[in-house]
Chains A and B, each alone.
Chain A
Amino acid sequence: MARFLVRRLAGHAVLVLVASSLAYLLAAAVLDPRGNYEGRQPPPPPEVVDAVLTESNLNDDAPLAQRYAVWASGVLCGDLGRTWDGREVGAEMARRVGVNLRLMSIGLVAGSVAGVALGAWAGLRRGRGADRLLTLWSYTVISVPTVVLAAALQACALWLNSAAGADLLRATGEYTPGLDAGMWGSAADRARHLLLPSLALALPQIAVHSRYQRELIAEAAGADFVRTARAKGLTLRAALRRHALRTTLGPSVTLFGYSFAALFTGTVFVEQVFGWHGVGGLLIDAIAEGDVNVVAAVCTFGALCVSVAGLLADTARGLLDPRVRT
C-alpha cells in the first residue's frame, strides 16, 4: 500500500510541476502587464514603467527563460512572487482560498448529500411520478447556466426584500464590512449573505448527484448480490436500501471530491454575481491586468487541488480494493 501511494504521490507531484510551469510560460508569453500603463493620460515615463515591471519580474525585455527561472526558484522556496502593483501573491492567494472555502463548503456538502439522498430515493421509486418530476427538475437545473441561476436567485432576493420592506437577504458580499454587531450579530450577518450563493452552488450539485446516484442504484438493482438478497426473501427496495446503497456511495464520494477541487477555481460566476472576492475573480482580474505571477499561482493551485483530490480518491480506492495496489 505504501509503495502504491508513494508512486501515486510522485506522479501527482510531476503533474503539478509540469502544469504550473506550462501555465507560467503560457501566461508570460501571452499576457501584457505593460498594458496597465498604456492609454493613461499622460502615460508614466517609460523608464519608470520598466523599473516597476522589473521589480515584479514582469518586464518583457528580460528573456522568458530568465523570468521563468526567477519565478520557479521563488516558487520552490514558497514565494509566489508579486502582483503587478506590488502585493504578495501568496498572501492574496491564501485570503482568496479562505473565501472560496467559506463560499463553497456548505453549498457543496449540502448539495451533494441532498443530491445523493434524493437520487437514492428516486432510484427506489423508478418510473413513478416523483422520480419523473425529479428527473425533469434535474435536467432543467443542469441545462441552466450557473450565471443565469445566480442572477435569477439574486433578482428573486431583491424582489423579496422590496416586497417585505426589509433587508431579509443580502444579495452581495461575504459579510457587511465594518459591521460591529458582536459574535452572534456577525454570524447572522454572514448567514444572510451566505444563503443565496450556497443555493446557487447547491442546486446544480443536487441535480447532478441525484442523477448519478439514481443510475448507480438502478445498476445495483440488477447486480448479483441484490438478486441473492432478494432470493433470501427481501423485497427489492429493502435489498437496495440495505445492501446496494453502501456500495454505491464510493463512486459518489469520488465524484464529490473531484467536483469540489474543480469548483475551487470554477465558482467564478457565483463569486462575480454575488460580489465575493474568491480565486475565480482573482484569475479573471489577473488575466485582464496581465498579471502573470497571479495567473500562474491560480493555475498551480488548481492543479494542486485536482491532484490532492485524485490522491485522496486513489487512497480510498486502495483501501477498498486490494487489486489496485499492485
Chain B
Amino acid sequence: MDQYQGKYNTKSTSVKRLMREATELQEATEDYSAHPLDENLFEWHFTIRGPPDSDFAEGVYHGRILLPAEYPMKPPNIILLTPNGRFEVNKKICLSISGHHPETWQPSWSIRTALLALIAFMPTPGIGTIGSLDFTPEERKKLAAKSQSYVCPECGKITDELATGVSKPATEEEKSLIDCVAFKAEEVQEPNNSGETEGETTVPEDTSLPSLRQRASALHSPLETAGANVLDGASTSVNSGNFQAPAHTANISILDQHRSLIIMIVVMAIGLLVLRRLILI
C-alpha cells in the first residue's frame, strides 16, 4: 500500500476503504483475484474463473473495475476485457438489484461481493439487457477455452492471477445478496440524442468501418436498435451503435473524438486517392 501514501488523502473515507479492500484481497483465491493499479487506487484489475457447471467453466476472465470518487456510496463499474459471450467487452457494466428495485447498491457491499456476484450472474440469460450478449453455448465454450491465453498488458498472463487450492466461498449472507444482484451496462441515452445524431456527428456514414460495425453489432437491446432504425432509416439494425454516440460520460466523449478522427483520416485518404487518380490521368 506504500505506493499510495502521500499520493492520496488517507483521511478520505474512499481511500481508506479501498486500501482496506486491497489488503483484504491481496491473496488471490482460485475463483477471483483483484488489485488496484500501482498508479491509481481507483482503478483495479480483476480476474475471475467462470462458474463451474456452466458454459464458462473453462474460462478465466479479466477486466477492469472503475471506482467512483464517492465509493462506497456509489457502485463500482466493471469492464470485462476478455471476450466471453455473455457481456460485451470494453463496456461499463454496473451492479444493481434485479427486478423492481434497480440502482440500489449498498455501501456495505465490496469489490469482493461485486466479483462473487459477477461470477454468479454469468450463466443467467442475457435477454436483451443492455450490454448483454446471448451467444450460443458452443461459442461461449470456444471463447472460454481461448480466454486462458489472454494476456493483459498491465498484469501479464491472466491464468497466473488466480491461485490454486485457495478458496474463499461466499458466506450465507453474501449468497443472499448475490442472488438478487443484476448487472447491466450503463445507460448512454440522453434526451437530446436525436438532435446530436443528425447534427455534427457524421456517424451514419461510417458503417463501412469494420471497427465500428463490430461494436455496433454487439448491441442487442431491441430498444436501441429500433431507435437507430428510425434515425438512420437506410441502415440495417446492425447500425444501432449510433446510439452510443450521444453520451454523457467522459469516456464516451473521448470515443466520439476518436471516431471523428478516424472518419477524418478515412475521408482524407479517399480524397488523396481521388486526387492522385486525377493527377495521374
Whether chain B is bound by chain A comes out as: no
Interface residues of B (CB under 8 A from A): none
